[in-house]
Chain A
Amino acid sequence: AQSVTQLDSQVPVFEEAPVELRCNYSSSVSVYLFWYVQYPNQGLQLLLKYLSGSTLVKGINGFEAEFNKSQTSFHLRKPSVHISDTAEYFCAVTRKYSGAGSYQLTFGKGTKLSVIP
């Protein structure tokens, strides 16, 4: 069963406009939450993570995300995007695999952010 839902597969936005990329997760999984970014022809890079504590998490490149337990959401935001933010963004949660008894990452299907000049 899918543990992470990214609500938008593609998000076009004009340069310098704000953006929100939405992510919802299944409440049954462990609440370690992550956003990764993948620039064209590159691997994944960690943007930010929520492990515990403050529900507002700040990451690299001016991104931030808010953990909302009641709505089981972890939306990613940036107040003003740049052309260089054009990439695919993945939300991920930890999930326990019963076989090994360890926690592994489960990813959403990704959201492609296109910043328009």
Chain B
Amino acid sequence: DVKVTQSSRYLVKRTGEKVFLECVQDMDHENMFWYRQDPGLGLRLIYFSYDVKMKEKGDIPEGYSVSREKKERFSLILESASTNQTSMYLCASSLDSSGYGYTFGSGTRLTVV
């Protein structure tokens, strides 16, 4: 089975800190994604990457950046964390760009205080 591993299950950071959320997949998938999940809003796409060093903005990229230096790793970066970025963050990967065959990680619940 494909595994998508998010390095932290829970994270607490202070306002203004630089925050890194890490995601690693073990099945050589081309595509990786970062979603944010908030109650009543569902999942919203922040950024995605379809190749190493490539990235594309999703629906809500403001306040975030990403890095993909290796195929298996996709990092989400909050340059200066704010309280409105308190949320559940979900990473996913997929083999191709057809839109199906996503595998999700278990999520990182980030609290910014």
A, B: real partners: yes
Interface residues of A (CB under 8 A from B): 6, 9, 30, 32, 34, 36, 42-46, 49, 51, 90, 94-95, 97, 99-100, 102-110
> Which residues of B have CB within 8 Å of A108?
42
CB distance from A58 to the nearest CB of B (A): 16
In the complex, the answer to whether B56 meets A100 with C-beta atoms within 8 Å is: yes
The CB with the most chain A CB atoms within 10 A, among B33, B43, B102, B106, is that of: B43
In the complex, the answer to whether A49 meets B100 with C-beta atoms within 8 Å is: yes
Separation of A88 and B40 alpha carbons in the complex (Å): 11
In the complex, the answer to whether B56 meets A34 with C-beta atoms within 8 Å is: no
In the complex, the answer to whether B45 meets A104 with C-beta atoms within 8 Å is: yes
> Which residues of A have CB within 8 Å of B74?
none
In the complex, the answer to whether B104 meets A107 with C-beta atoms within 8 Å is: no
Q: List 9 A-B contacts (CB under 8 A).
A: A32-B98, A42-B107, A43-B90, A44-B92, A94-B98, A97-B58, A100-B48, A100-B56, A102-B31
Separation of A30 and B99 alpha carbons in the complex (Å): 10
Interface residues of B (CB under 8 A from A): 4, 31, 33, 35, 40-45, 48, 50, 56-58, 90, 92, 97-100, 102, 104-107
Separation of A11 and B103 alpha carbons in the complex (Å): 26
> Which residues of A have CB within 8 Å of B43?
44, 90, 107
Separation of A99 and B97 alpha carbons in the complex (Å): 13
Task: Give the residue of A42, A90, A105 whose beta carbon is less than 8 angstroms from that of B99.
Answer: A105
Task: Give the residue of B42, B57, B98, B102 whose beta carbon is less than 8 angstroms from that of A109.
Answer: B42
CB distance from B30 to the nearest CB of A (A): 10
CB distance from B91 to the nearest CB of A (A): 9
CB distance from A42 to the nearest CB of B (A): 6
